[in-house]
Amino acid sequence: MGNDGGSIPTRRELVKNAARTPNTSELKATQHEAQSYAWEYCPLSNRPLISPIVSDCAGTLYNKDSIIEHLLPKDDDTLTSVTKEKEEILQGRVKGLRDIVEVKFSVVKEDAEEKRICPITSKELGPNTKAVYLVPCGHAFSEAAIREVATEACVECNEPYTSENIIPILPFSKEDISRLSTRASKLKGSGLTHSLKKAPGGKKRKKNAEADVPPTESPATSQITKSGPPKDRSITNNIAQSRNGSSTPDPATSRSIKNASTASLTARVLDEQEERNKRRKLGLNDNLKSLFSSGGYSAQAQKGGDFMTRGYSLPKRA
C-alpha cells in the first residue's frame, strides 16, 4: 500500500473491534446456552439424553449406554483418538459402573414432549431451575424443595441420605464444584465410589479381625506359625501318603474341614487317590489284561479274529 495515491491505514483502523472481557450479560447467555445443551445431549455420544440417564461425581449427565460402550474393551486401533477424547471429557471420574448413579427423573408428557419435573414443587428441571439428586437412590428434585423439606430420607423411596450426598446436577458455581471435589476425595480415601459402593481392587478383610499377627510372638507361637496348623499338616500328609501309596487316606480329614464345599472336594480327591493306589497294587489294569491271555493258544477259537483280537498268549509255567 502506498505509491498509488491512496492512504496508509493505521492499526486503529485495521483493528476495529479490540479484544475485551465479556460483560456479565454475555457470560450469563453463554452459560445458559451451555447448560441447555448439557441438559439435552450426552457429551460422550452427542446424542439426546434418554432414559436411563446416569451421572458421575461431578454431576454431569450421560446416557447409560454411552458409558457402557466406553467401558467395554476395544480392539480396533482406529478408535484411539475417539477414546482419548472421551477420556478427556470424563477426566478419570468414571472407571466402572460403580462410579455412576442412575438419575431418576419424574417425567410429565405435554403434547409430544416429555418434561422432567420436581415431584414436590412440579417445577420443570432444566437450565432455569437448579436441580439436585440424592445418593444412593438417585431421585431428582429441585434444590429449593430439598432445602425446604430438610428430611433425612428420600420423599420418593424413603431411602436415607446425608447432606453430603445431595449432588447438584450440572453445577456451575465454584462452591458446588469445590464441594463435589472434596466429597470425591473423601470417598476415595475411604475406599468408596460415587455410588457409595466399595471400590474394586481393595483387600478383603477376614471376618475374624482379631486374627492379626501381634508384633512380638512367643517361641511356641512362632513354631506353630512356621509349621502350620495341625489339621492343615494332617491334610497335606494324607494327600502325600496317598500319592506315594504308603498308606490309605484318613476319611476323618474331610470331616475336620468346616467349609462344606472344601470338605466334599477334599473327600473326593482322597477317594480318587485311594482308588488309584488299589489299581497300582493290582499290577495291570483291565485294559491291559484284555490284550493278554493266561491260557494256551487255540487256533480254532481265534480263527476268525484279527491280529488285535487274537492277542498274545503267555507261556505256561512248568
Kindly give the pairing relationship between strand 312-313 and strand 292-293.
parallel
pLDDT at 243: 47
At 245, the pLDDT band (50, 70, 90 cuts) reads very low
pLDDT tens per residue, range 128-140: 999 999 999 999 9
The rounded distance, in Å, linking the Cα atoms of 236 and 233 is: 5
pLDDT at 232: 47
At 252, the pLDDT band (50, 70, 90 cuts) reads low
For the cut 60, the answer to whether the pLDDT of residue 244 exceeds it is no
Nearest to 108 by CA among 96, 123, 95: 123
For the cut 90, the answer to whether the pLDDT of residue 27 exceeds it is no
Which residue's entry shows cell 481393595? Answer: 202
Q: Give the right CATH number for 25-189 from 1.10.8.60, 3.10.20.30, 3.30.40.10, 3.90.1150.10.
A: 3.30.40.10
Q: What is the mean pLDDT of residues 69-92?
A: 79
Percent of the chain with pLDDT over 90: 41
Which residue's entry shows cell 501309596? Answer: 245
Q: Which of 12-26, 77-91, 175-189, 208-222 has the lowest mean pLDDT?
A: 208-222
Which residue's entry shows cell 492379626? Answer: 212
For the cut 60, the answer to whether the pLDDT of residue 312 exceeds it is no
Give the cell for residue 203: 483387600
Give the cell for residue 34: 451451555
Q: What residue spans define the domains of the chain? A: 25-189, 228-296+307-318
